[in-house]
Structure 1
């Protein structure tokens, strides 16, 4: 019951696309300074339904256990929020240096009608070749997203691709056990993201 209360609160805070940047920072002190995101304590288990990788194989987030996972729900037609966020995450990995080997960045598309797993993988690889892109059935994606308080909805309004997708802009961080440990609001710089990832790597 407690888990669902926390997730419901998180969902209410996160819903609304880029406005998720208003999510309050945790400001927990640690050796490297203060967190810019919000720590989840205790960490929360996630819904880990199988998704599809670029090679057509089933992939679960549990496959990345042992690493800190930086998880983002976005799409390739996103005009601003997604490319900005992924560029800042790529900068954060450079800031981490060798420690980036213990971090796996994953983007799950929220637009599977246009983003095949192959297209999603190609897109995220432009930011860093180590990034992983996942796709699959929209209901499966929604199951995973909703379990972490992530919202997305197609908006039938004019754009180059025919429509846009409103979605939570928050970056989620899973710990080495695969549990939700940290939420990073939209708009953090690469340096700020790297700061919080150093904390996550120590947990």
Structure 2
């Protein structure tokens, strides 16, 4: 738990400069290179890539279904924010990418995501494919052994926002106030 809190704190600190002062072009788009090519599968076992997300703005979060706190909290927040957006939420891709492909099979993702807004899609893949996607999106994650032979995973906790062309816009920090997060999603939809 202590390691997860430290990793969450580091992820929040790492995201703060992005939210507060990351470089933007004259149209307000981020100049940071976050995101890129990936080849994963969704919760139905169908192949997906970064091209699958083009055409609609995207909110993407990397986590794992056995996460005790950060992931279910973030997914509940996303569900609430999508409800607040109403029909405008249909204009977004919302994606949960697993950093635990050993346990998070498509079937496990489907079961986990059934607890949240049905518009949230789950992606997983081979360990190598997940590692490549995480690297492209600058996501930190690390398996942490636990007593008894199990493990948990420390991981980044921000939700990353991308415009319809796949360009990084900015993050929503972990446990961001709902009004701020919904405003960010509304702005994303308008972009």
What's the TM-score, normalizing by structure 2?
0.84
Match 1:199 to one of 176, 187, 190: 187
Aligned partners of 2:72 and 2:38: how far apart in 1? 26
Alpha-carbon spacing, 1:97–1:106, altered in 2? closer, same or farther (3 Å): same
1:21 matched to 2:12: yes
Aligned partners of 1:70 and 1:180: how far apart in 2? 10
Tell me the secondary structure at the aligned position of residue 173 of structure 1.
Answer: strand
What's the TM-score, normalizing by structure 1?
0.79
Aligned partners of 2:171 and 2:100: how far apart in 1? 22
Q: 2:64: which partner in 1? A: 75
Q: 2:167: which partner in 1? A: 179
Deviation at residue 76 of structure 1 after TM alignment: 0.7
Aligned partners of 2:79 and 2:158: how far apart in 1? 16
Alpha-carbon spacing, 1:177–1:43, altered in 2? closer, same or farther (3 Å): farther
Q: 1:66: which partner in 2? A: 55
Instruction: Please give the root-mean-square deviation of Cα atoms over the aligned residues, in Å.
Output: 2.1
1:22-171 counterparts in 2 under 5 A? Answer: 22=13, 23-24=15-16, 25-26=19-20, 41-42=30-31, 44=33, 46-158=35-147, 162-171=150-159
Q: Deviations over 1:80-101 (max 9, x none)?
A: 0000011111111111112111
5+ residue gaps, structure 2: 1-5, 23-27
Deviation at residue 157 of structure 1 after TM alignment: 1.4
Tell me the secondary structure at the aligned position of residue 41 of structure 1.
Answer: coil
5+ residue gaps, structure 1: 1-15, 29-38
Tell me the secondary structure at the aligned position of residue 42 of structure 1.
Answer: coil
4+ residue segments displaced more than 4 Å: none
